[in-house]
Amino acid sequence: MQSLTQNLSFLSPLFSQVSESPEPKKIQLKSSFFKNPIFFTSHKSVHSPDKPISTGVFPKNSIFFTSPKCYHNPDKPISRNPRNSSVSCITAHEIPLQPLTVPEKVHCLACEFKSLPEPIDRVKRLLHYATLLPPFDESGRVEENRVKGCTTMVWLQVEMDGNRLMRYKVDSDSEITKGFCSCLIWLFDGAIPEEVLSVKTDDLAEMNVGMPSKGHSRVNTWHNILISIQKKTKNFVEVKDKDRSLTEFPPLVGSTDGFSVYGNYKEAQYMQESRQAGNEVEGPT
Protein backbone atom coordinates (compact mmCIF):
# COMPACT_ATOMS: atom_id res chain seq x y z
CA MET A 1 0.00 0.00 0.00
CA GLN A 2 1.32 3.40 -0.87
CA SER A 3 2.44 5.69 1.89
CA LEU A 4 0.34 8.66 2.81
CA THR A 5 3.01 10.88 1.28
CA GLN A 6 2.81 9.12 -2.04
CA ASN A 7 -0.96 9.13 -1.89
CA LEU A 8 -0.95 12.85 -1.44
CA SER A 9 1.81 13.52 -3.97
CA PHE A 10 -0.59 15.30 -6.29
CA LEU A 11 -0.78 18.04 -3.70
CA SER A 12 2.90 18.86 -4.11
CA PRO A 13 2.50 22.10 -6.10
CA LEU A 14 0.61 23.55 -3.18
CA PHE A 15 3.52 23.30 -0.79
CA SER A 16 4.46 26.57 0.71
CA GLN A 17 7.80 25.44 2.03
CA VAL A 18 10.35 22.97 0.90
CA SER A 19 13.14 21.39 2.75
CA GLU A 20 16.62 20.44 1.79
CA SER A 21 17.39 18.47 4.87
CA PRO A 22 17.58 14.70 4.54
CA GLU A 23 15.81 14.46 7.87
CA PRO A 24 12.06 14.10 7.73
CA LYS A 25 10.49 17.53 7.91
CA LYS A 26 7.01 18.63 8.67
CA ILE A 27 5.48 20.45 5.78
CA GLN A 28 2.39 22.52 6.08
CA LEU A 29 -0.04 22.65 3.20
CA LYS A 30 -1.53 26.09 2.78
CA SER A 31 -4.36 26.42 0.38
CA SER A 32 -8.02 27.25 0.28
CA PHE A 33 -8.21 23.84 -1.38
CA PHE A 34 -8.37 22.36 2.14
CA LYS A 35 -10.66 22.97 5.02
CA ASN A 36 -7.79 22.74 7.45
CA PRO A 37 -4.09 22.65 6.77
CA ILE A 38 -2.63 19.19 7.26
CA PHE A 39 0.84 18.14 8.26
CA PHE A 40 2.78 15.18 6.99
CA THR A 41 6.37 14.17 6.66
CA SER A 42 8.59 14.11 3.63
CA HIS A 43 10.99 11.26 3.07
CA LYS A 44 13.32 13.00 0.68
CA SER A 45 14.52 16.48 -0.06
CA VAL A 46 12.18 18.07 -2.47
CA HIS A 47 14.54 20.06 -4.55
CA SER A 48 18.13 20.16 -5.54
CA PRO A 49 20.07 22.76 -3.57
CA ASP A 50 21.86 23.59 -6.80
CA LYS A 51 18.68 24.69 -8.49
CA PRO A 52 17.01 27.72 -6.93
CA ILE A 53 13.29 27.84 -7.12
CA SER A 54 11.87 30.87 -8.91
CA THR A 55 8.27 31.82 -8.55
CA GLY A 56 6.06 29.28 -10.25
CA VAL A 57 8.91 27.05 -11.41
CA PHE A 58 8.75 23.65 -9.88
CA PRO A 59 11.78 21.46 -9.37
CA LYS A 60 12.05 18.12 -11.05
CA ASN A 61 12.82 14.66 -9.74
CA SER A 62 10.91 15.01 -6.57
CA ILE A 63 8.80 12.21 -5.18
CA PHE A 64 6.02 14.70 -4.75
CA PHE A 65 5.96 15.80 -8.34
CA THR A 66 4.48 12.69 -9.76
CA SER A 67 1.38 12.50 -11.87
CA PRO A 68 -1.69 13.89 -10.22
CA LYS A 69 -3.45 11.22 -8.22
CA CYS A 70 -6.88 11.44 -6.78
CA TYR A 71 -8.75 8.97 -4.69
CA HIS A 72 -12.26 8.71 -3.50
CA ASN A 73 -13.73 7.73 -0.23
CA PRO A 74 -15.70 4.52 -0.78
CA ASP A 75 -18.26 5.74 1.74
CA LYS A 76 -19.26 8.51 -0.62
CA PRO A 77 -21.60 7.70 -3.51
CA ILE A 78 -19.93 8.05 -6.87
CA SER A 79 -21.58 9.39 -9.99
CA ARG A 80 -20.28 8.52 -13.43
CA ASN A 81 -21.07 12.01 -14.61
CA PRO A 82 -18.12 14.20 -13.66
CA ARG A 83 -20.42 17.20 -13.43
CA ASN A 84 -22.55 15.46 -10.81
CA SER A 85 -19.71 13.69 -9.15
CA SER A 86 -19.89 13.74 -5.44
CA VAL A 87 -16.17 13.18 -5.28
CA SER A 88 -14.91 16.19 -3.48
CA CYS A 89 -11.34 17.21 -3.64
CA ILE A 90 -9.55 15.55 -0.79
CA THR A 91 -9.81 17.14 2.61
CA ALA A 92 -7.80 16.73 5.74
CA HIS A 93 -10.32 14.38 7.23
CA GLU A 94 -10.49 11.88 4.40
CA ILE A 95 -8.18 8.97 3.87
CA PRO A 96 -8.14 7.86 0.24
CA LEU A 97 -8.37 4.15 -0.45
CA GLN A 98 -9.24 3.28 -4.05
CA PRO A 99 -8.14 4.60 -7.44
CA LEU A 100 -10.64 6.80 -9.22
CA THR A 101 -12.50 6.15 -12.42
CA VAL A 102 -12.00 8.36 -15.43
CA PRO A 103 -14.97 10.64 -14.70
CA GLU A 104 -13.74 11.05 -11.15
CA LYS A 105 -10.26 11.86 -12.38
CA VAL A 106 -11.71 14.46 -14.74
CA HIS A 107 -13.51 16.04 -11.83
CA CYS A 108 -10.35 15.97 -9.74
CA LEU A 109 -8.29 17.57 -12.47
CA ALA A 110 -10.94 20.20 -13.03
CA CYS A 111 -10.87 20.98 -9.30
CA GLU A 112 -7.13 21.29 -9.38
CA PHE A 113 -7.02 23.72 -12.25
CA LYS A 114 -10.04 25.63 -11.09
CA SER A 115 -8.35 26.22 -7.77
CA LEU A 116 -5.42 27.99 -9.39
CA PRO A 117 -6.05 31.71 -8.94
CA GLU A 118 -4.44 33.13 -12.07
CA PRO A 119 -4.43 31.95 -15.67
CA ILE A 120 -0.64 32.04 -15.66
CA ASP A 121 -0.70 29.56 -12.77
CA ARG A 122 -2.49 27.11 -15.01
CA VAL A 123 0.18 27.61 -17.66
CA LYS A 124 2.87 26.91 -15.10
CA ARG A 125 1.04 23.86 -13.83
CA LEU A 126 0.86 22.50 -17.37
CA LEU A 127 4.55 23.13 -17.86
CA HIS A 128 5.19 21.16 -14.71
CA TYR A 129 3.08 18.26 -15.94
CA ALA A 130 4.91 18.41 -19.25
CA THR A 131 8.04 17.29 -17.43
CA LEU A 132 6.20 14.19 -16.24
CA LEU A 133 5.32 12.93 -19.69
CA PRO A 134 7.13 9.66 -20.45
CA PRO A 135 9.64 9.77 -23.31
CA PHE A 136 8.16 9.17 -26.74
CA ASP A 137 9.98 6.96 -29.21
CA GLU A 138 11.25 8.89 -32.20
CA SER A 139 9.91 6.17 -34.48
CA GLY A 140 6.42 7.14 -33.42
CA ARG A 141 6.72 10.63 -34.86
CA VAL A 142 5.14 9.68 -38.15
CA GLU A 143 2.33 11.23 -40.11
CA GLU A 144 -0.20 8.52 -39.24
CA ASN A 145 0.26 9.28 -35.55
CA ARG A 146 -0.18 13.03 -35.95
CA VAL A 147 -3.20 14.65 -34.38
CA LYS A 148 -4.70 16.77 -37.13
CA GLY A 149 -6.05 20.23 -36.61
CA CYS A 150 -3.62 21.47 -33.98
CA THR A 151 -1.34 24.45 -34.43
CA THR A 152 1.33 22.49 -32.57
CA MET A 153 2.62 19.08 -33.64
CA VAL A 154 1.12 16.27 -31.57
CA TRP A 155 1.77 12.57 -32.02
CA LEU A 156 -0.47 9.97 -30.50
CA GLN A 157 -0.07 6.21 -30.24
CA VAL A 158 -2.97 4.11 -29.05
CA GLU A 159 -3.00 0.47 -28.08
CA MET A 160 -5.27 -1.93 -26.30
CA ASP A 161 -3.58 -4.36 -23.94
CA GLY A 162 -4.52 -7.94 -23.25
CA ASN A 163 -6.92 -6.89 -20.50
CA ARG A 164 -8.85 -4.67 -22.91
CA LEU A 165 -7.45 -1.59 -21.25
CA MET A 166 -6.39 1.37 -23.35
CA ARG A 167 -2.74 2.43 -23.42
CA TYR A 168 -1.64 5.78 -24.78
CA LYS A 169 1.62 7.42 -25.68
CA VAL A 170 1.67 11.03 -26.74
CA ASP A 171 4.18 13.80 -27.42
CA SER A 172 4.31 17.34 -28.78
CA ASP A 173 6.82 19.94 -29.88
CA SER A 174 5.18 22.49 -27.55
CA GLU A 175 5.76 22.34 -23.80
CA ILE A 176 2.28 23.60 -22.93
CA THR A 177 0.71 21.06 -25.24
CA LYS A 178 2.86 18.39 -23.62
CA GLY A 179 1.31 19.43 -20.35
CA PHE A 180 -2.16 18.93 -21.82
CA CYS A 181 -1.04 15.54 -23.11
CA SER A 182 0.35 14.57 -19.73
CA CYS A 183 -2.97 15.30 -18.07
CA LEU A 184 -4.87 13.35 -20.71
CA ILE A 185 -2.56 10.38 -20.34
CA TRP A 186 -3.12 10.42 -16.62
CA LEU A 187 -6.85 10.47 -17.24
CA PHE A 188 -7.03 7.72 -19.81
CA ASP A 189 -4.04 5.42 -19.68
CA GLY A 190 -5.15 2.06 -18.35
CA ALA A 191 -8.85 2.89 -18.59
CA ILE A 192 -11.53 0.84 -20.25
CA PRO A 193 -12.59 2.14 -23.68
CA GLU A 194 -16.11 3.01 -22.59
CA GLU A 195 -14.80 5.40 -19.96
CA VAL A 196 -12.51 7.07 -22.47
CA LEU A 197 -15.37 7.52 -24.88
CA SER A 198 -17.65 8.95 -22.20
CA VAL A 199 -15.59 12.10 -21.63
CA LYS A 200 -16.71 15.24 -23.46
CA THR A 201 -14.59 18.28 -24.25
CA ASP A 202 -16.88 20.39 -22.09
CA ASP A 203 -15.73 18.31 -19.15
CA LEU A 204 -12.18 19.50 -19.74
CA ALA A 205 -13.06 23.16 -20.21
CA GLU A 206 -11.70 24.10 -16.80
CA MET A 207 -8.22 23.02 -17.87
CA ASN A 208 -8.29 24.92 -21.11
CA VAL A 209 -5.52 27.32 -20.35
CA GLY A 210 -6.21 30.70 -21.89
CA MET A 211 -8.87 29.33 -24.17
CA PRO A 212 -12.39 30.26 -23.10
CA SER A 213 -13.72 28.69 -26.27
CA LYS A 214 -15.00 25.18 -25.84
CA GLY A 215 -15.53 24.55 -29.48
CA HIS A 216 -13.51 23.31 -32.36
CA SER A 217 -10.55 25.49 -33.16
CA ARG A 218 -7.03 24.96 -34.40
CA VAL A 219 -5.70 26.16 -31.06
CA ASN A 220 -8.12 24.20 -28.91
CA THR A 221 -5.66 21.44 -28.17
CA TRP A 222 -7.80 19.71 -25.57
CA HIS A 223 -10.58 19.29 -28.07
CA ASN A 224 -8.37 18.06 -30.89
CA ILE A 225 -6.35 15.56 -28.88
CA LEU A 226 -9.37 14.26 -27.00
CA ILE A 227 -11.25 13.72 -30.26
CA SER A 228 -8.23 11.94 -31.69
CA ILE A 229 -7.88 9.72 -28.63
CA GLN A 230 -11.54 8.83 -28.74
CA LYS A 231 -11.54 8.18 -32.47
CA LYS A 232 -8.61 5.80 -32.26
CA THR A 233 -10.05 4.15 -29.18
CA LYS A 234 -13.33 3.61 -30.98
CA ASN A 235 -11.46 2.04 -33.90
CA PHE A 236 -9.79 -0.37 -31.53
CA VAL A 237 -13.09 -1.25 -29.95
CA GLU A 238 -14.74 -1.83 -33.31
CA VAL A 239 -11.94 -4.03 -34.53
CA LYS A 240 -11.83 -6.02 -31.33
CA ASP A 241 -15.60 -6.35 -31.25
CA LYS A 242 -15.65 -7.53 -34.81
CA ASP A 243 -12.98 -10.14 -34.12
CA ARG A 244 -14.83 -11.22 -31.01
CA SER A 245 -18.11 -11.59 -32.87
CA LEU A 246 -16.44 -13.79 -35.44
CA THR A 247 -15.13 -16.14 -32.81
CA GLU A 248 -18.11 -15.87 -30.48
CA PHE A 249 -20.67 -16.63 -33.14
CA PRO A 250 -19.30 -19.25 -35.48
CA PRO A 251 -21.79 -20.78 -37.88
CA LEU A 252 -23.65 -23.91 -36.89
CA VAL A 253 -23.49 -26.77 -39.33
CA GLY A 254 -26.21 -29.31 -39.48
CA SER A 255 -25.47 -32.90 -40.42
CA THR A 256 -27.01 -36.29 -39.89
CA ASP A 257 -25.12 -36.43 -36.62
CA GLY A 258 -26.70 -33.21 -35.40
CA PHE A 259 -25.49 -29.65 -35.22
CA SER A 260 -21.91 -28.65 -34.62
CA VAL A 261 -19.81 -25.57 -34.81
CA TYR A 262 -17.62 -25.19 -37.88
CA GLY A 263 -15.05 -22.57 -38.81
CA ASN A 264 -15.99 -18.93 -38.46
CA TYR A 265 -18.41 -16.54 -40.04
CA LYS A 266 -16.08 -15.30 -42.71
CA GLU A 267 -15.19 -18.81 -43.74
CA ALA A 268 -18.84 -19.75 -43.93
CA GLN A 269 -19.59 -16.68 -46.03
CA TYR A 270 -16.75 -17.52 -48.38
CA MET A 271 -17.92 -21.09 -48.77
CA GLN A 272 -21.47 -20.04 -49.46
CA GLU A 273 -20.49 -17.42 -52.00
CA SER A 274 -18.11 -19.76 -53.75
CA ARG A 275 -20.72 -22.50 -54.05
CA GLN A 276 -23.22 -20.03 -55.40
CA ALA A 277 -20.63 -19.12 -58.03
CA GLY A 278 -20.37 -22.75 -58.99
CA ASN A 279 -16.95 -23.41 -57.52
CA GLU A 280 -16.04 -26.54 -55.64
CA VAL A 281 -15.25 -25.80 -52.02
CA GLU A 282 -14.16 -28.16 -49.30
CA GLY A 283 -16.12 -28.34 -46.10
CA PRO A 284 -19.57 -29.33 -44.97
CA THR A 285 -22.46 -28.38 -47.20
Partner 1 sequence: MMMASTTVESAFLKIPSFGFVNPNNATSKLVSRSSVSLRFGFHFRSCATSSASAAEPASASSPSSVVNDGAKLGPGSLGHITRPDFPILHQAVNGSKLVYLDNAATSQKPTAVLEAIQNYYESYNSNVHRGIHYLSARATDEFELARQKVANFINASESREIVFTRNATEAINLVAYSWGLTNLRPEDEIVLTIAEHHSNIVPWQLVAQKTGANLKFLELTEDEVPDVGKLKEMLSKKTKLVAVHHVSNMLASVLPIEEIASWAHDVGAKVLVDACQSVPHMVVDVKKLGLDFLVASSHKMCGPTGIGLLYGKSELLNAMPPFLGGGEMIADVFLDHSTYAEPPSRFEAGTPAIAEAIGLGATIDYLSGIGMERIHDYEVELANYLYNSLRSVPNIRIYGPEPSRVFKRAALCSFNVEDVHPTDVATFLDQQHGVAVRSGHHCAQPLHRYLGINASARASLHFYNTKEDVDDFIRALTDTISFFTSFK
- What is the binding site for partner 1 (CB under 8 A)? 54, 57, 118-120, 122-123, 127, 151-153, 173-177, 209-210, 218-219
Question: Minimum Å distance from CB 173 to partner 1?
Answer: 6
56 versus 190: smaller Cβ distance to partner 1: 56
**Dihedral angle of Cα 277, 279, 282, 283, to the nearest 10 degrees:** 20
CB of 3 or CB of 151, closer to partner 1: 151
**What's the closest the beta carbon of residue 113 comes to partner 1, in angstroms?**
13
- Output the smallest distance, CB 142 to partner 1, in A: 15
Q: Which of 70, 108, 111, 150 is catalytic?
A: 150
Residue 118: CB minimum distance to partner 1, A: 7
H helices then E strands: how many in the chain? 7, 8
The reply to whether 108 belongs to the active site is no
CB of 43 within 8 A of CB of 110?
A: no
User: 196 or 226, CB closer to partner 1?
Assistant: 226
Query: 64 or 71: whose CB is closer to partner 1?
Result: 64
CB within 8 Å of 252: residues ≥ 6 apart:
259, 260, 261, 262
Q: What is the 3-state secondary structure (H, E, C) of 86-147?
A: CCCCCCCCCCCCEECCHHHHHHHHHHHHHCCCCHHHHHHHHHHHHCCCCCCCHHHCCHHHEC
**Active-site residue list:** 150
